[in-house]
Structure 1
Amino acid sequence: MSNIGEVKVSYVFHGSVKDRPIITSSYDVYKIAMMVLDQETVGMQEQFLAIYMNRAHRVIGAKVHFVGGVSSVIVDVKVIAATAVSLMASSVIVCHNHPSGSLQPSPQDIAITDKLKNALRYLDIQLLDHMIVTPEMDWLSFVERGLL
């Protein structure tokens, strides 16, 4: 049996559940994104992060899963879904930056949002929003724009 890989799922949170931030607006998402994104490269490379929440929309955790180039990033839906399941998350918000400063969603941005929404739905996990942020401290919420 020495040739079988060991599976470990771990999550470490220090503190109380009541001390976790609650997401109530796109500005809350923006603040978390700016804490998690690498500020040294936010104006140079696209980064794609996910924020995982419990049923009360309290943040369980946030992670930059993918880093791309100046105008695109490849997103693997399985990674986000697997992380959400591992954390027993009830909902997810995804966010990525546009180094160009444009808030216009690309066709690829819209396509990955639909793909994520459909994949997570089968796991009873809700995709609450997809946000685009810029180095100029602007953001676009897909929900607020009626895109999700």
Structure 2
Amino acid sequence: MSENTTEVIVGAGVLAAAIGFVIYASQVSGFTGTATTYPLEASFRSLEGVSVGTDVRLAGVRVGTVAAVDLNPETYRADTTVSVQQGIEIPDDSAIVISSEGLLGGNFVEIVPGGSPFYFEAGDTITDTQGAVSLVSLLLKFVSGSSE
């Protein structure tokens, strides 16, 4: 009887750990079935380190994800669609930039809010963009002493 009780307790512990892992993974990945979003468009010179699913942040808080990335064959720019959580109003003079989490961290898309009293609507284009800055090219400029 003691052996059977131990097996049930260990089994319950394993099951609880598995459920905890699933809950944690869904929160980290941002998987929620009830959240609705709206799309915004942007065109970047360089989208280095950003792909579909990359976080979109506002004031350091995750407010959406990168939904689509396509190369525009006419302008040679990365046309990007970001999905922003419904209810988050972004002023229509805001900028969108590719930021880095640090030297060893990955890149993410950051929305820098403006001060306009008017807001972007679903499908609008953010024209004030700043692409990714290559850390390698910055280091090469520093080492070579180039002022370009």
The TM-score, its normalising length taken from structure 1, stands at 0.26
Q: Output the TM-score relative to the length of structure 2.
A: 0.26
> Greater Rg, structure 1 or structure 2?
2
The structure with higher relative contact order (CA 8 Å, sep 6+) is 2
In terms of fraction of residues, the more strand-rich structure is: 2
